[in-house]
């Protein structure tokens, strides 16, 4: 039997999310397309891979076996691509930088802008990825640099350089439900209307996973594409929002925004800088990647004003 890599990736997303809807969002597919692919995968395998339930799906024994082997197949394919690409890449090829929702707010734009202005001969491809996906890609040599959460970098055995704190906070309008509080639990915050990021954003995927694990179903009044808009909506009173503290560290917002520490173990986190496994000191691309890393370090220092 032959398996399509796109179908295998989709199946792993469905397993991770516990639903075809969630898997479709992570795979950037429509729900009808994802459902059709999963059904075709089951017909191809000749056995039921997922048990459909009212609140989602769960894997059958055959599905668990497929997921286990699919991870191995995709990991090996990624390592093969990375190994070949590391020899074929010309010096002029764009650098690749992977980062999540939090780093894409301010840090990555400032770093890439400064790098491009300083090195007119170099280009950079920036891709939004969850930390776990970034770590796997770096480990397999599929990218030059990645900004990864500290615990994820450690779990994947990556050499990581600390960048900055990225702890999560809950924000809302001054004189609102957060008034007089310095901390709040996720369950307490989720009792109130919220604003969040797009469902496919790495930070929102993480928050949604924690909500499901805690049996919570927050009401999101709206979702925005970037953290700046999310904070602005919370500041205006549209709802509470869970964001990195870095996203609200602007003196101009003092007096207009209530900020409470999110009282959850998983809310305390930090960003780290990691290099791709295929990059070797002295290789043609090393100077440009090192220069980009320098700009990332500089941008991780909070901007004044």
Q: HEC states along 176-235?
A: CCCCCCCEECHHHHHCCCEEEECCCCHHHHHHHHHHHHCCCCCCEEEEECCHHHHHHHHH
34, 27 Cβ separation under 8 angstroms? yes
Reported pTM: 0.67
209, two tokens? 């996973």
- Residue 10 shares a structural domain with residue 53: yes
Q: Convert the pLDDT of each residue in 35-85 to its tens digit.
A: 999 999 888 888 998 999 888 899 999 989 998 998 888 888 887 776 676
Residue 158 structural domain: 91-165+269-299
Assess whether pLDDT exceeds 70 at residue 207.
Answer: yes
d(CA 261, CA 264): 9
Same structural domain, 260 and 279: no
Residue 305 — very low, low, confident or very high, per pLDDT cuts 50/70/90? Answer: very low
Query: Are 275 and 153 contained in the same domain?
Result: yes
Q: Are residues 145 and 234 in the same domain?
A: no
Q: How high is the pLDDT of residue 217?
A: 94
Establish if 255 belongs to a structural domain.
Answer: yes
Cα 181 to Cα 159, 176, 225, 262, distances in angstroms: 38, 10, 28, 11
Please indicate, yes or no, if residue 304 is contained in any of the structural domains. no
What proportions of the chain, in percent to the nearest 5, are helix, strand and coil?
Answer: 45, 20, 30
Tens of pLDDT, residues 213-240: 999 999 999 999 899 999 999 999 999 9
Does any domain span residue 212? Answer: yes
User: Which of 53, 85, 117 is the endpoint of a domain?
Assistant: 85
Place of tokens 């650098």: 95
Q: pLDDT: is 253 or 156 the higher one?
A: 156
The residues, ordered by sequence, that sit 6+ positions from 194 with a Cβ below 8 Å of its Cβ are: 218, 219, 220, 221, 239, 240, 241, 242
Tokens 């792993």, located at residue:
12
Q: Are residues 159 and 285 in the same domain?
A: yes
Structural domain tally of the chain? 3
The band of 252, judged by pLDDT with boundaries at 50, 70 and 90, is very low
User: Model confidence over 135-147: pLDDT tens digits?
Assistant: 999 998 889 999 9
Q: What is the CATH number of the domain that holds 52?
A: 1.10.10.10
**Domain identity same for 30 and 108:** no
Question: What's the residue count for the chain?
Answer: 305
Torsion over CA: 118, 122, 126, 132 (sign): negative
Residues 155 and 282 in one domain: yes
């Amino acid at each position: 039997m032959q398996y399509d890599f796109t179908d295998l990736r989709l199946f792993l997303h469905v397993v991770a999310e516990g639903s075809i809807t969630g898997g479709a969002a992570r795979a950037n597919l429509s729900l009808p397309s994802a459902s059709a692919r999963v059904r075709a995968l089951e017909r191809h395998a000749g056995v039921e891979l997922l048990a459909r339930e009212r609140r989602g799906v769960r894997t059958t024994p055959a599905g668990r076996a497929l997921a286990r082997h699919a991870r191995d197949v995709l990991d090996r394919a990624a390592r093969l691509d990375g190994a070949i690409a590391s020899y074929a890449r010309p010096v002029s090829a764009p650098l690749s930088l992977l980062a999540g929702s939090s780093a894409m707010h301010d840090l990555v734009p400032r770093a890439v802008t400064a790098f491009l202005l300083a090195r007119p001969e170099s280009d950079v491809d920036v891709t939004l990825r969850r930390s776990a996906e970034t770590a796997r890609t770096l480990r397999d040599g599929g990218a030059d640099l990645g900004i990864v959460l500290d615990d994820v970098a450690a779990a994947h055995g990556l050499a990581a350089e600390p960048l900055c704190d990225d702890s999560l906070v809950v924000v809302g309008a001054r004189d609102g439900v957060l008034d007089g509080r310095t901390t709040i639990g996720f369950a307490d915050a989720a009792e109130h209307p919220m604003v969040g990021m797009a469902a496919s954003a790495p930070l929102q995927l993480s928050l949604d996973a924690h909500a499901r694990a805690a049996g919570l179903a927050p009401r999101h009044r709206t979702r925005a594409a970037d953290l700046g808009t999310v904070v602005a909506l919370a500041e205006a009173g549209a709802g509470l929002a869970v964001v990195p503290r870095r996203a609200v560290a602007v003196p101009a917002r003092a007096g207009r925004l209530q900020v409470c520490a999110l009282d959850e173990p998983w809310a305390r986190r930090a960003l780290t800088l990691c290099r791709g496994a295929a990059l070797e000191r002295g290789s043609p691309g090393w100077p440009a990647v090192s220069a980009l890393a320098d700009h990332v370090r500089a941008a991780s220092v909070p901007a004044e004003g």
